Structure 1
Amino acid sequence: MKYLISFLLLILSFQDLNAQTLKLKPRKADALTGTAFAKSISDSTLMLKQREEIIFNEIKNGNVPNFLRKLSEVVDSIKIENQIARVSYYALPDYFCIGSDDDYFYVPMTPILAQKVADLTKCNLPTKKMVDNIYKSASIKLTPQPIPPTKAMTTLPIFIAHNDSVKIQLKPYLSKHNNSALTAGNKKDVIISNKIYTEKTPKVVIYGWHKMDGKAIQPVYNKHTNTWADYSHGIRLIQQKVRVEENLEGKTDQRSRRTTIKKLLKNPILYKLLSDEGVIEKPFYPLTEYGID
């Protein structure tokens, strides 16, 4: 009986990890489409904080496409002390957007809002290493489409223009994309990094926008404050719970266990599964007040 209970608990543990869906309310039939939502926040008199409160409420109420709700498994492995260790985690199949499967809007966010959404959905933002691994694993890889930098790059008209250009790129992959195929190359990532906290003012750290040769256009960059969000920024959430397997080459003492991204990033040895910049003691953004960049 004791062994049966242990077995059932193990099965439930795997089922819990493999609940590969975004934890949000169902989308209402009368929810705004992406086009309508983008228009609703295009008022130039709307302050950043007001805009992000509207975005958060829309997400909290479940106005997110169905294709974004089915998470994609991503696996990575490394050699630690002559043994193979492997991690598996579940990521959004595309960058965060609002609206329906047929009409959605990629919504750039400050890291303040991104962290709030991550907390709401029991998720984390990725590290640089995770971004690289997600790109390698993606079945849909899009060519980055930078817009020349101007003061307008943080405004809704540019957000909408870039959104439309990405959706044109996705047309040949429409069926695959709307079935939650892992997609990358269309945005830079807002990432978790030790560089968030290296200066007095909290920063947003961005990385990625991989070209078709696998090289990232954007190196790790932390020169914007945490109130910055431009058209190129994408938010890719990762489910907090991960599965770690150790000693895969050994005939004995093989271990498989469930943990979280936060715990793994603080582990003095196993952090290497998720981070190539060392242990990350604060794998999150501060929810500080909005200021002026």
Structure 2
Amino acid sequence: MQVIKVCFFVLSSFLFVAQARSGLRDQFLQLDGEAREHFIYQAVSEGQAFPSWNEFVPVTVSAKAHTLTFYVSPDYLQLGDEQEFFWAPLQYFSVKKLMASLGVLIPTAKMVNLIYRQAELKIWSKTMSDGPEMSTSPIFLEHTDLLLAQLKERGLPYPCHCLSAGHKKDYVLTKRLLERPNREAIYGWFRKDGSVIQPLSLVHNDRWVDYSQGFRAVSRKVLLDGVERPLEEILRHPTLSLLVSDEGPIDVRKIFSNWPSFSPGLELH
């Protein structure tokens, strides 16, 4: 499988690395709310996401006489390393900041479906009880343990260093965010039979997070018929957008204020 290594960072904090090696999970367990958000954001900003998270893998779609390959992180955001790691849900408010600082996007609902269909490892969704606890760090970690137990029962090695999908709801791009800019759009979470638990929804504001949500990064560069193009240009194109969107064109620049643009711009035909 072709892998693109995305170099987000040049330097890592020695102090943070030392802390991560001596109980990252225990530190995370003690945090909630804004303290947890800051912890995750700092960890990712200092290069402490799971090592393979920035090794983007290809997903390819062919339609309308075109072939498009886009590149995604192989799993939802995790913190830690091979010895100690966990999935780390965070608020969409924080995701937007990470998207801007890392120079990445999130998928559309159609892209989520494409990712799931092409995933080498399909992890079945695992629901937990509703209530205030669903947004707490102990439940986040328990959900990690339940998913890993499932994989062990199925005899599937993990980490697999492969495209994995199904086990979290994605934050997604949708033109509906133009009308509700302070909301989050979520979609996905696949059952064993491949059906989706969570239809596209903007029910929550961008400060809501629970154990079921995940951040999968998408590279802003794609290959269209073998030629490198910006994903933003594909998304807002009247016909090419149909390769990655069931809603038609989506203008990322209008959804996100102060969004860094590719230069020079590329005109698509």
TM-score relative to the length of structure 1: 0.78
- Cα distance in 1 between the residues matched to 2:68 and 2:89: 29
State the match for 1:148 in structure 2.
129
Give 1:270's match in structure 2, choosing from 215, 232, 240. 240
Instruction: Indicate how the Cα distance of structure 1 residues 266 and 135 shifts in structure 2: closer, same or farther if over 3 A, else same.
Output: same
Q: Which runs of 5+ in 2 are unaligned?
A: 259-269
State, as a whole percentage, how many aligned pairs show the same letter: 27
State the match for 2:205 in structure 1.
225
* Secondary structure in structure 1 of the residue aligned to 2:211: coil
- Cα distance in 2 between the residues matched to 1:267 and 1:220: 22
Instruction: Indicate how the Cα distance of structure 1 residues 31 and 74 shifts in structure 2: closer, same or farther if over 3 A, else same.
Output: farther
Instruction: Kindly indicate whether residue 165 of structure 2 is the aligned counterpart of residue 165 of structure 1.
Output: no
CA offsets 1:180-217 (integer angstroms, 9 cap, x no match):
21111111111111122323x61111000112322111
Give 2:165's match in structure 1, choosing from 184, 187, 205. 184
Structure of greater Rg: 1
CA offsets 1:18-57 (integer angstroms, 9 cap, x no match):
7711323477663515x9334324446x5x3332122111
Q: Which runs of 5+ in 1 are unaligned?
A: 1-17, 246-255, 288-293
Code of the aligned partner of 1:206: I
Q: Please, what is the CA RMSD of the aligned residues?
A: 2.3
State the match for 1:40 in structure 2.
27
* Secondary structure in structure 2 of the residue aligned to 1:30: helix
8 Å CA contact retained: 2:50, 2:77: no
- Number of residue pairs matched by the alignment: 250
8 Å CA contact retained: 2:3, 2:57: no
8 Å CA contact retained: 2:3, 2:55: no
8 Å CA contact retained: 2:57, 2:71: yes
State the match for 1:71 in structure 2.
56
8 Å CA contact retained: 1:67, 1:178: no
Give 2:99's match in structure 1, choosing from 114, 118, 127. 118
8 Å CA contact retained: 1:203, 1:226: yes
Give 1:216's match in structure 2, choosing from 175, 185, 196. 196
8 Å CA contact retained: 1:134, 1:184: yes
- Cα distance in 2 between the residues matched to 1:271 and 1:164: 38
8 Å CA contact retained: 1:197, 1:203: no
